[in-house]
Chain A
């Protein structure tokens, strides 16, 4: 079936089996920032923004993205929002391994875009879902809080 949607700010129509997952659809079309991980929606490596919200592309059927706005990590990394996260992560000494980047970066984005001063408790609640050898939960939480500070500084100078 033909599926029209917006992919990384471009209107496109892709051909896919309705049952195939968005993860496969994206990878089949050359977007490899979306990693093929657990296929259960738990590891975060296949995360994309769907209408501005992070979702695991491995469980979303291709048919369900019709008329949606999908943004993948490689596109998000060109934005100023990503630059804030990158700043925070660097300050916290985070060096992501590549496999878990989408989960952790979009987790940071979902927190700092809704709460300019996130409390550590609420950050830890989300951060604990992204275990990976490259970054422990505490460090990830610190990175997200620092990213929020970088974003505040850019937007309001405070």
Chain B
């Protein structure tokens, strides 16, 4: 008979973690340990490994180890990291939980995409997935969940400046529910033209569509009512496409769609000359 007793493993280095991933089946990795009511039957705690605690800031990007806590990110200050990431981190849980909760844990939370996902999606972040046999950076838009016997080790975030950078969170404050979602709107303007645009929404439904953004990039500002209406219809179609696989949550899906379209409409109104 299989034992249902929890076994906890510890690692001292990245190599140690990879060794455990190779040798222990169905191992689940924990960083800050703030998300789970119960540990998995085979758990690996990696909270004290320096490889996962790096913060590496360069001119055009910043890299965080997966074990960097949300408080450490906030301690960098709003001016030193993308503002939407800072604003998002500030809304996660409670201050004392943010002392333990990690960026890696926020990204790979199961079920609903948590608060940092939308900012990272909008910023074109990449995450490093490591397994005992391979290591690669993948765009976060292609990340669904951590593959078997693998882990997130680093998060690479471009840190370009945006003329308009807006983060909004919907749903209950400080906790995650089906109604929780994050919205990010980034825009650059140049000589009265919308030169770049990023729109991301994440929660139960996640959206980032280059097609949607490309519809508006190059438009003259301010946007006409017709352009805004067209975009809202396109955005609604995108939302329906993304939500099509979710069963039995029609009420909350309608609520999320209404919030997404409201936030988008408000954001468009910020686009002026």
Query: Which A residues lie at the B interface, using CB under 8 A?
Result: 1, 17-19, 40-42, 44, 47, 50, 53-56, 59-61, 63-64, 66-68, 103, 106-107, 110, 114, 126, 129
Contacts and interface: CB of A to CB of B under 8 A. Distances in A.
B174 interface: yes
Interface residues of B, number: 24
B34 interface: yes
Given A41-B34, A67-B48, A1 B8 contact: yes
Interface string B39-53: 100010101100000
A64 B47 contact: yes
Nearest to B71: A53
Contacts of B45: 63-64, 66
Contacts of B43: 18, 63
Contacts of A110: 95, 99
Contacts of B48: 67-68
B249 to A, nearest CB: 23
A100 to B, nearest CB: 13
B41 to A, nearest CB: 10
B162 interface: no
A94 to B, nearest CB: 19
A129 B95 contact: yes
Given A42-B174, A63-B45, A55 B93 contact: no
Given A66-B45, A68-B48, 18 more contacts: A19-B6, A41-B34, A44-B94, A47-B96, A50-B99, A54-B99, A55-B96, A55-B97, A56-B97, A60-B100, A61-B33, A63-B8, A64-B45, A66-B10, A103-B96, A110-B95, A129-B94, A129-B95
